Structure 1
Amino acid sequence: MEANQIHTHANCVRLVPIFNHLDEASMMKVAEKAHHKGLKRGEYLYQATDADDSVYIVHKGQVRIFHLSESGKEQLIRVLNPGDFTGEWTIFSTDAYHEHYAEATRNSAICAINRNDLLELLKEYPEISMEILSSMSDRLQQSERQTASVATEPVTNRIIYYLENLAGADSEDDATVTLPMTRRDLASYLGTTPETLSRRFKDLETSGLIEQLPKNTIRIPSIEELLFATE
């Protein structure tokens, strides 16, 4: 692998919490195992039933992961931004297959590490295993909370809790957040329709609880008052 390619891959793996604790020499060893993959907007990183044999790290761009039911209904699982990764389950199975779809929402650069190379890295740097397990645990908890919210909470509550999470636990007054996905994807993630999402945002704005700004930005004058509006 050429030196400039390794340098590019090193910049990619530095973005990821499971690797960025390593020293520079170790980081370069990880980079040597990585492979570059470019995606244009609308192209798939993988599709359901494809072999799950690599960890994929988003270097540039954005990738949306979604499930497609037999009826054709789409459910957004999560959105990957630079530094986010997917495919870590591959280390636990030699015959794993993807259950979801991963589509680039803009031109993206991905660095991938295949299963065998990842296992070699885990043997040499066991601390990576703990970082991966921690990340998987956080993701599982988030997924469980999201599933419970969609099943039990009204749409307005889902929106409010989502905005609170974006603002951060320590925010109370006058927070400004930027939605990390399109309104269409946010509707899918929250288990509603784009039309219903727009109406609920408008209701919250009319009540003075939020202000919709350009570029997918939302101003929240008071997180506390917003939470009081839950049903």
Structure 2
Amino acid sequence: MSKDAIYPKNVVPSHTSCVSLVPIFNHLEKEQLDEIKVTTQSVSYKKQELIYHAGDESTSLYIIHKGKVRIYRLSESGKEQLVRILNPGDFTGEMALFSESTHETYAEAMIDTKICRIDRSDLQDFLLKYPSISLKILAEFSNRLEASEKQSSRFATEKVEARIALFLVDILNEELPKTTEVTLPMSKKDLASYLGTTPETISRKFNELEDKGLIKQLTHKQIKIIDLDGLLLV
């Protein structure tokens, strides 16, 4: 029987080092990683291809091996709200670990992307066998909750200009080594969705911040922070 008869055309048996690259697994010993690899499928997605839809049954953990994935919601009116962007080593579908449920968001490949997929039953076995994985996942949950609460608070209390300024400051604080330049992790269209505004408003507010001498737009994604103190007071 051919391989294509066993696996869908974009799914192949995992024989890569995918799981060894991600933070929730890379602390394990080689023998433990090999055990996880046996249960892992490597799935390829083209740019703009959906990995899952809201309403789909959630049965697997998806770990980004290569590429970039955007997680977003759609309101009843069809307006998109970007939740987060996932890079290699990040994961989604984690609710499948705890209960039978459906996805509340959409996951879309932003560029050609490779995903490591692990079924719920297999991962639950590993969580029981290697509790350190659970601690890594809980740490990520904590980070996401903090980011979500921060985003919700800013939506409720801050003007768009302030949301942009605080977003730039957050990126600057994450840069290592420390620098005065930041690279936007997403397009301005996605940034508008993430900050709850429109791409036109994002462009206008960036120009206004530049006119005030607070930033300098080096390229469409590269921003130089000129006046950090002033940016914090926007």
- TM-score, normalised to structure 2, is 0.90
2:26 counterpart residue number: 20
Q: How far is 1:33 from its partner?
A: 1.6
The one-character-per-residue Cα deviations of 1:129-186 (angstroms, maximum 9, x if unpaired) are 1111111111011111101111211001101111111111689x85111111111000
2:15/2:37 contact within 8 Å kept? yes
| TM-fit CA distance, 1:7 | 4.2
Deviation for aligned residue 1:15: 2.7
Match of 1:69 among 75, 80, 85: 75
Is 1:152 the counterpart of 2:152? The answer is no
1:151 aligned counterpart, secondary structure: helix
Partners of 1:115 and 1:6 lie apart in 2 by 17
For residue 224 of structure 1, report the CA deviation from its aligned partner.
2.5
- Please list, as runs of the form range in 1=range in 2, the aligned pairs for 1:47-196 lying within 5 A after superposition: 47-93=53-99, 95-168=100-173, 175-196=180-201
Query: In the alignment, does 2:225 pair up with 1:220?
Result: yes
One-letter amino acid of the structure 2 residue matched with residue 150 of structure 1: F
| Structure 1 position 225, deviation (Å) | 2.9
Residue 32 of structure 1 is matched in structure 2 by: 38
Per-residue deviation, residues 37-92 of structure 1 (Å, max 9, x unmatched): 11101110000110111110111111111101111111000111111111111111
Asked if the contact 2:14–2:41 (Cα under 8 Å) also holds between the matched residues in 1, the reply is: no
How many residue pairs align between the two structures?
A: 223
Distance 1:155 1:107, change over 3 A: same
Q: Is the 8 A contact 2:172 2:179 kept in 1?
A: no
Query: Do the aligned partners of 1:174 and 1:222 also contact (CA within 8 Å) in 2?
Result: no
Q: Equivalent residue of 1:28, what SS?
A: helix
Aligned-CA RMSD value: 1.9
Cα offsets for 1:84-139 (capped at 9, x unmatched):
1111111110x210011111111111111110010111121111111111111110
For 2:212, give the aligned amino acid. Answer: S
- SS of 1:33's equivalent? coil
Whole-Å separation in 1 of the counterparts to 2:179 and 2:109: 33
Residue type of the partner of 1:19?
A: F
Contact 1:51 1:98 in 2 (8 A): yes
Work out the percentage of aligned pairs sharing the same amino acid.
49
- Alignment partners' CA distance in 2, 1:123 and 1:16: 19
Q: Aligned equivalents of 2:73 and 2:90: distance in 1?
A: 18
> In 1, Cα distance between the equivalents of 2:129 and 2:37?
14
| Contiguous gaps of at least 5 residues in structure 2 | 4-11
- Structure 1 alignment gaps of length 5 or more: none
Residues 4-36 of structure 1 deviation map (CA, whole Å, 9 limit, x = unaligned): 96441x2x2223211111122212222222111
Q: Using the alignment, how far apart are the partners of 1:51 and 1:169 within structure 2?
A: 35
In the aligned structure 2, how far is the partner of 1:20 from the partner of 1:46?
A: 26
Cα–Cα, structure 1 residues 25 and 129, in superposed 2: closer, same or farther, change >3 Å? same
Q: Whole-Å Cα distance in 2 between the matches of residues 120 and 174 of structure 1?
A: 43
